[in-house]
Amino acid sequence: QQQVKQSPQSLIVQKGGISIINCAYENTAFDYFPWYQQFPGKGPALLIAIRPDVSEKKEGRFTISFNKSAKQFSLHIMDSQPGDSATYFCAATLNSGGYQKVTFGTGTKLQVIP
């Protein structure tokens, strides 16, 4: 059962444009929503994260928008750069057995073309 759905699967954006990746979740027990960036052959790195009591969080060119009632959240990358080309995973976590268990989305491969 895929608890975190992510779209699109792939995305091509012109340099300077806005990249938008969407995610939806089912389990209302999730209490933390991180986004990860992964380059080929590397492990994922935490990019930005949000808690469900906040509707928006911005860090530099990266913004998370969160809609708790719709159980949806999205990542916006402003002024996209070729260096942003990577695979992005949304995730949702919940407390399980005393630690946070992470459920990943299916991933979005972003390509920013000059």
Partner 1 sequence: GAVVSQHPSRVICKSGTSVKIECRSLDFQATTMFWYRQFPKKSLMLMATSNEGSKATYEQGVEKDKFLINHASLTLSTLTVTSAHPEDSSFYICSALLAGGGSGEQFFGPGTRLTVL
Residues that bind partner 1 (CB under 8 A): 31-32, 34, 36, 41-46, 49, 51, 89, 91, 93, 95, 97, 99-102, 104-107, 109
- In the complex, the smallest distance separating the C-beta of residue 66 from partner 1, rounded to whole angstroms, is 14
Rounded Cα gap, residues 27 and 103, in angstroms: 11
Whole-angstrom Cα Rg for the chain: 14
- In the complex, the smallest distance separating the C-beta of residue 79 from partner 1, rounded to whole angstroms, is 26
The nearer residue to partner 1, 41 or 83, going by C-beta atoms, is: 41
What is the distance of C-alpha 113 from the center of its chain? 20
The nearer residue to partner 1, 41 or 114, going by C-beta atoms, is: 41
The nearer residue to partner 1, 18 or 45, going by C-beta atoms, is: 45
- In the complex, the smallest distance separating the C-beta of residue 51 from partner 1, rounded to whole angstroms, is 7
Rounded Cα gap, residues 16 and 77, in angstroms: 10
**107 conformational bin, left if phi > 0, alpha if psi -120 to 50, beta if neither:** left
